[in-house]
C-alpha cells in the first residue's frame, strides 16, 4: 500500500526522522493561510508540492496550466499562484503515464537551503533474504540510472530480519556520504530512526530522494516515498486509514474487493488462472504464441461460479481484450465443476453480452479433466476447449489471427 509524501512525513516526525514542517490541504485559501503562519515563524522560502502516488513530480508538468509538480515560492502571492495552478489540474510525470494523475491535495512546506542532496533507500534484498540500506552521494537523480552506470556510488549495509541495525553500520553509511561533525551525528540518528520506522511499520520500501544536508548543517528528508506490506496491514490500523483509493487503478481496486489478485497489463489476451506461478507460465505461453497478456489474474484456489463471474467482469472491463484464456489446474477443485462454473458464468446476461465477440479458450487440467472437456465441447457457447497448454496457446493465436 502506498501513501502520500505528506503522510509519510507526518509518520517520520513521530518516529524522530527529521523533515521540514508543512501543511497538506486541498484549498487555495488554506494553502495561503498555512504560508502566512509559516512566514510569521520566520520562513521566507516555501515549496508547494503536488501530492500524487507517483514520483518525478519536480520534472513533471500539469496538463492545463503547464505547472511543475514541485514549485519553489518566495512570497505568499507565489504560493497562491502555485496552489491555483496545481489544484484540480492533472500532473504528468515519467511515473504516471500519459494520462497523469489529478492533483487533489498539495503540501505547503518550508523551503530548505540545500548544501547537498543524497539518496537513501531501505528495502528487502530478496537475493540475500536481508533488509538492505542503500545510500548514494548521487541524490536527486534516478537511482536506477546510478545503479546501472556507476554502481560503485551506491553503498549498502545489510541487516538480518529480526536483528537491529548496529550504530556502527549507520556510521559507516554516514561516513560513505561524506558527513562530518555535527551533521555526521545527525545523519547517524536519521538513519537509525528511519530503519526502526521501516521495521516497526512493516514497510516494504522507504525511499528518500533527496535526503539533504542544509546550509545550516541539518540533515533531513525532503522527499519521502513509503510503501507498506499489504499482508501486515492488519497490525497497523492507523496506517490503513492513510490509504487513498482514488489514487489506485479502479479495476485493480475492484478486484481486491473480491480477493482476486489482478494486475492490468497492456496486451489483448485476458487471462484467468488459479495460482500465481501458473499465471506467470500462462503469460509466457501467450507471448510465445504471439499474443500479449492483457492482465495477470490469479483467482485463487476456489474457482467457483462466483469467482469466475467476477474474474470475467474484471477482465472484460478492459476494452483491449480480444480473447480470454482460462487456465485452471483442478487439484482440490474438480475440473468438471470449474467447466460448469465457466458455462454458467458465460450465460450470465451481463457477461454474455460482453463476450459475444470475445472467444474464450479454456484449458482445464487435473481431476476429471476429460469430463470437463466434454462439458465444454457439448455447450453451444463461444468457448473453445484445450487439453494441453500448447494447444490452448495455438487456439489463442488462431483466434487473434482471425
Ligand atoms: P519528486 O521526486 O517527485 O520530483 P521531490 O520531493 O524529490 O519530488 O522534489 C524535487 C526536488 O525539489 C528535490 O530534489 C529538491 O531539489 C526540491 N525540493 C523538494 N522539496 C524541497 C524543500 N522543502 N525545500 C527545498 N527544495 C525542495
Ligand atoms: Mg524525489
Short-list 253, 135, 152, CA closest to 187: 135
Distance (angstroms) between ligand 2 centre and the Cα of 141 equals: 8
**Least confident interval from 99-103, 145-149, 301-305:** 301-305
| Residue extents of the structural domains in the chain | 19-110, 114-240, 250-401
CA gap 197, 12 in Å, rounded: 8
What integer pLDDT is reported at residue 214 of this predicted model?
98
* Residue in 5, 138, 157, 207 annotated catalytic: 207
250-401 CATH:
3.40.50.261
The kind and range of the H/E element at 239 are helix 237-240
Average pLDDT of the residues in 74-80: 97
Residue having the nearest C-alpha atom to atom 7 of ligand 1? 223
The kind and range of the H/E element at 376 are helix 369-378
Share the mean pLDDT of the chain.
Answer: 93
Q: 52 CB less than 6 Å from ligand 1? A: no
Answer yes or no: same fold for 19-110 and 114-240. Answer: no
pTM across the whole model: 0.81
**Can you identify the CATH homologous superfamily of domain 19-110?**
ATP-grasp fold, A domain (3.30.1490.20)
What integer pLDDT is reported at residue 26 of this predicted model?
97
Band of the pLDDT at 124, cuts 50, 70, 90? very high
* Known active-site residue 207: yes
Give 133-140 contacts, CB < 8 A, sequence gap 24+: 133/157, 133/158, 133/159, 133/165, 133/169, 133/173, 133/191, 133/195, 135/173, 135/176, 135/177, 135/211, 137/176, 137/177, 137/178, 139/209, 139/210, 139/211, 139/212, 140/209, 140/210
Pocket test for ligand 1, best of 121, 222, 226 (most atoms within 8 A of CB): 222
The terminus-to-terminus CA distance of the chain in angstroms comes to: 41
Fold of 114-240: D-amino Acid Aminotransferase; Chain A, domain 1 (3.30.470)
201, three cell numbers: 511499520
Amino acid at each position: 500500500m502506498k501513501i502520500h509524501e505528506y503522510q509519510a512525513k507526518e509518520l517520520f516526525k513521530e518516529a524522530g526522522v527529521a523533515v521540514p514542517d508543512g501543511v497538506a490541504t486541498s484549498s487555495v485559501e488554506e494553502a495561503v493561510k498555512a504560508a502566512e503562519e509559516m512566514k510569521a515563524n520566520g520562513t521566507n522560502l516555501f515549496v508547494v508540492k503536488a501530492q500524487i502516488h507517483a514520483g518525478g513530480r519536480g520534472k513533471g508538468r500539469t496538463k492545463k496550466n503547464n505547472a511543475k509538480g514541485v514549485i519553489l515560492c518566495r512570497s505568499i502571492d507565489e504560493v497562491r499562484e502555485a496552489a491555483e495552478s496545481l489544484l484540480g489540474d492533472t500532473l504528468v510525470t515519467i511515473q504516471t503515464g500519459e494520462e497523469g494523475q489529478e492533483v487533489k491535495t498539495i503540501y505547503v512546506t518550508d523551503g530548505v537551503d540545500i548544501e547537498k542532496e543524497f539518496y537513501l533507500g531501505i528495502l528487502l534484498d530478496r537475493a540475500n533474504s536481508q533488509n538492505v540500506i542503500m545510500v548514494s552521494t548521487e541524490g536527486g537523480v534516478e537511482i536506477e540510472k546510478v545503479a546501472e552506470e556507476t554502481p560503485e556510488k551506491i553503498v549498502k549495509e545489510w541487516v538480518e530480519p529480526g536483528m537491529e541495525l548496529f550504530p556502527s553500520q549507520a556510521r559507516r553509511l554516514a561516513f560513505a556520504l561524506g558527513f562530518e561533525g555535527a551533521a555526521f551525528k545527525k545523519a547517524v540518528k536519521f538513519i537509525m530512526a528511519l530503519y526502526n520506522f521501516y521495521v516497526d511499520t512493516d514497510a516494504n520500501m522507504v525511499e528518500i530522494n533527496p535526503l539533504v544536508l542544509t546550509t545550516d548543517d541539518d540533515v533531513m528528508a525532503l522527499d519521502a516515498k513509503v510503501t507498506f506490506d499489504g499482508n501486515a496491514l492488519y497490525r497497523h490500523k492507523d496506517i490503513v486509514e492513510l490509504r487513498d483509493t482514488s489514487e489506485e487503478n479502479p479495476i485493480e481496486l475492484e478486484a481486491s474487493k473480491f480477493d482476486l489478485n489482478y494486475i492490468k497489463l497492456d496486451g489483448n489476451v485476458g487471462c484467468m488462472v488459479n495460482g500465481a506461478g501458473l499465471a506467470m507460465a500462462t503469460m509466457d505461453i501467450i507471448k510465445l504464441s504471439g499474443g500479449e497478456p492483457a492482465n495477470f489474474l490469479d483467482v485463487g484456489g476456489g474457482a467457483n461460479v462466483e469467482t469466475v463471474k467476477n474474474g470475467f467482469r474484471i477482465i472484460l472491463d478492459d476494452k483491449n481484450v480480444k480473447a480470454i484464456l482460462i487456465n485452471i489446474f483442478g487439484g482440490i477443485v474438480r475440473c468438471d465443476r470449474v467447466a460448469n462454473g465457466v458455462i454458467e458464468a458465460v450465460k450470465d446476461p451481463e457477461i454474455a453480452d460482453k463476450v459475444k465477440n470475445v472467444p474464450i479458450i479454456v484449458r482445464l487440467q487435473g481431476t476429471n479433466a476429460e469430463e470437463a472437456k466434454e462439458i465444454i465441447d457439448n455447450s453451444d457457447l463461444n468457448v473453445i476447449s484445450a487439453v494441453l497448454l500448447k494447444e490452448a496457446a495455438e487456439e489463442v493465436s488462431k483466434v487473434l489471427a482471425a
